[in-house]
Amino acid sequence: MPYPNLPPLYLASTSAYRRQLLAKLTPHFRAISPQVDEAALPAEQPEALVSRLAVAKAQAVAATLTDGLVIGSDQVAVFDGQIIGKPHTVDNAIAQLSQFSGNTVTFLTGLALINVATASCQQVVEPFIVEFRDLSQAEILAYIDREKPLDCAGSFKSEGLGISLFHALKGDDPNSLIGLPLIRLHELLRNEGVNLLTAGT
């Protein structure tokens, strides 16, 4: 790392979206695939799932290191009490957005920060609520065709044209909707004595 007072920082993720978000705070990090089974446990609730997986991802990468701070994160969308995953196909994306039309979807993002040297682990779950406006079938088809959000939970990209699908957004940190709550992350880093605002000074 180029800053002597900034410890090595690792992102336990292969997500391009999370890399882009973390790069807003600092370019000085390395992304590593955590190699974690993301399947839910029997009867596991959404909040418990994202919390467990965020920690598991951070732990998987931390186990390969001798020092530094490791960030783990996981996200699910919850609609009508059910976990909604990535659509992967156009037909699934149409079905998801048709369900969401005029309704509310809650996104839960688990965040974990592990200090490799001390083995300390901080974790939080950040909720964010999306209220969809009433969507016509033509709008749904046009949106999917234009932005192709097939690798996004909920079938939209809020940082792009997906914002046109919403009536309102409710939450503390809009970055959490994309997959990494930066406000909470900076808090966890400061708890470890790392302030990215002053790290280079």
Cα 145-80-95 angle, rounded to 5 deg: 25
Which residues make beta-bridge pairs with 75?
109
Helix (H) or strand (E) holding 96: helix 90-100
C-alpha span between 63 and 10 (Å, rounded): 12
Tell me which of 74, 80, 145, 173 is the catalytic residue: 74
- Indicate the DSSP class of residue 133: P
C-alpha span between 18 and 3 (Å, rounded): 22
C-alpha span between 59 and 55 (Å, rounded): 6
To the query of whether residue 74 is one of the catalytic residues in this protein, the response is yes
Residues carrying an active site annotation: 74
